[in-house]
Amino acid sequence: MWKIKKDKNKKGNEGFALAIVLLVTTLVVILALEFNYEMRTNASIAANSMDDIKAYYAAKAGIAAGIFGLRADFKSDKDKNSFVDYKGELWATQNIAIPVGEGVTSGIITDEDGKVNLNIYLEDEGEDDEENQSKNKNTKKQGEDRLEQQQNVVKRILDSLPVNSNNSDEIMHVMKEWSGITDEDPALTAYYSNLTVPYESKGNYFDDMSELLLLKGITKEFYFQTPESGNVLQVAQPSSASAGGGTGDPDVVAAGKSLDKLFTVFTPYLDEEEAKININTAPREVLRALHEDMDDAAIEAIISRQTSSDPFKSMDDVKAESAIQNVYDDKPDGPRGIRHLLGMRSYYFRIKATGQVRNASKTIEAVVLRDPENGSIEIRSWSVY
């Protein structure tokens, strides 16, 4: 009788085949998962890219809405024949949010003419300055002249900053040298040329406030008024004798406003007559720096009218405010009055709009010039981030 001989290697072959099947299955599963992951990643990237584009156009719509609001304000002023800009107007409304498509745009408009203009206020005496020429003929100087008044305003702001450079005169010198107001300084030339990425002083007017970050001594902490150690500072509060309140004890206060909230470089025609500080929109820090005798009572009187329905409409209104009378007119052999510095009309505005679509966000910041004759808008600065 025949006997079937068993293959001793069969069991081993079956095990090997099973291992191959498992290996191939594992590879297929891994490849499928990788493909699925790449597909989902690519789809997510495509969706995010689309959301970025939508967010950008939502922000752009916010800029357009801001421009429309400024034009509407001009038309309203023209109808009333009262060209006064103040914080109580619709264009100055804070935290406006408008639904746009699948997202939302939010924005804010701020007045550049409520700030101190560095291109004008750092000006030195020129040959065509009749006021200073006439004063130079006198052997005895009598009080502040126009240029001294303007530069003292800048100095007082720099000296009052929570994050302080401790040398406002040096900072002002560096600003003047950069903008070509004073002659080229060999020491500054050497400093800029020896930097890792060297450059030269501009030798012309500031075109944008961000240029200040290129200047010697102006660090990011100083420009943005954020201390290196954190978000708060130990600052002694004013005593009751000097500011009408407080104990004089150290207190923890928030970091100050960045330089671009207090200074501007945008001025129509670079004419000091068009660089008046709008008293109805100027921040507290600027108001305090207008005069060495400016006190809290005067500042609060101005602030209270900025957002009211009764802003200052003329210099006669300013002079009539009892709290301001002490600093309004010139003082013999002393500081000039704030009447020389102030206006009620604005030309330049900064529109900041942020578009948000799901997790995507884009911000556009534009500085625009509103023509005082017809209200048309011209974009002078545009940045996206």
Q: Mind listing the pLDDT tens digit for each residue in 256-270?
A: 789 999 999 998 665
With bands split at pLDDT 50, 70 and 90, how would you rate the model's confidence at 17?
confident
327 near 298, Cβ under 8 Å? yes
Q: How confident is the model at residue 245 (pLDDT cuts 50, 70, 90)?
A: very low
Mapped onto helix, strand or coil, the DSSP state of residue 235 is: strand
* Overall average pLDDT of the 279-293 stretch: 97
- Report the distance separating Cα 169 and Cα 133, nearest Å: 24
Asked if the model's pLDDT at residue 375 lies above 50, the reply is yes
Give yes or no for a contact between 256 and 163, defined as CB atoms under 8 angstroms apart: yes
Mean pLDDT of 69-95: 93
Q: What is the arithmetic mean of pLDDT over 124-148? A: 61
pLDDT attached to residue 47: 59
d(CA 196, CA 134): 47
pLDDT greater than 80 at residue 254:
no
Contact indicator for 263, 117 with CB cutoff of 8 Å: yes
DSSP structural state of residue 249: -
Q: What number of H helices and E strands is found in the chain?
A: 12, 11
Specify the amino acid at residue 145: D
How many CA atoms are closer than 13 Å to the CA of 255, on its beta-carbon side? 17
Tell me the mean pLDDT in the region 57-67: 95
Mean pLDDT of 288-316: 95
Among 9-23, 227-241, 311-325, top mean pLDDT goes to: 311-325
Name residue, tokens 């406030």: 209
Paired strand residues for 99: 104
What is the distance between the alpha carbons of residues 87 and 278, in angstroms, rounded to a whole number?
Answer: 10
Which of 230, 215, 275, 242 lies closest to 160 in space, CA to CA?
Answer: 242
**What contacts 98, CB < 8 A, 6 or more positions away?**
61, 62, 65, 104, 105, 106
Note the pLDDT tens digit of each residue in 189-230.
999 999 999 999 999 999 999 999 999 999 999 999 987 654
| pTM for the whole structure | 0.80
Contact 377, 80 (CB under 8 A): no
Residue 259, Cβ density class (10 Å: 0-12 exposed, 13-18 middle, ≥19 buried): buried
b/e code 177-191 from CB counts within 10 Å (16+ = b): bbbebeeebeebeeb
Per residue in 144-168, is it b (16+ CB within 10 Å) or e — as a string?
A: bbbbbbbbbbbbbbbeebbbbbeeb
What's the whole-number mean pLDDT along residues 76-84? 94
Structure tokens at 293: 């005798």
Task: Compute the half-sphere exposure of residue 265: CA atoms within 13 Å on the CB side of its CA.
Answer: 16
Integer distance in angstroms from the first to the last C-alpha of the chain?
92
- DSSP single-letter state for residue 125: P
| Residues 119, 123, 129, 135, CA torsion sign | positive
Token output for 182 = 């004073």
- With cut-offs at 50, 70 and 90, classify the pLDDT of residue 65: very high
Q: Which two tokens stand for residue 350?
A: 């900064």
Residues of the chain above pLDDT 90, percent: 64
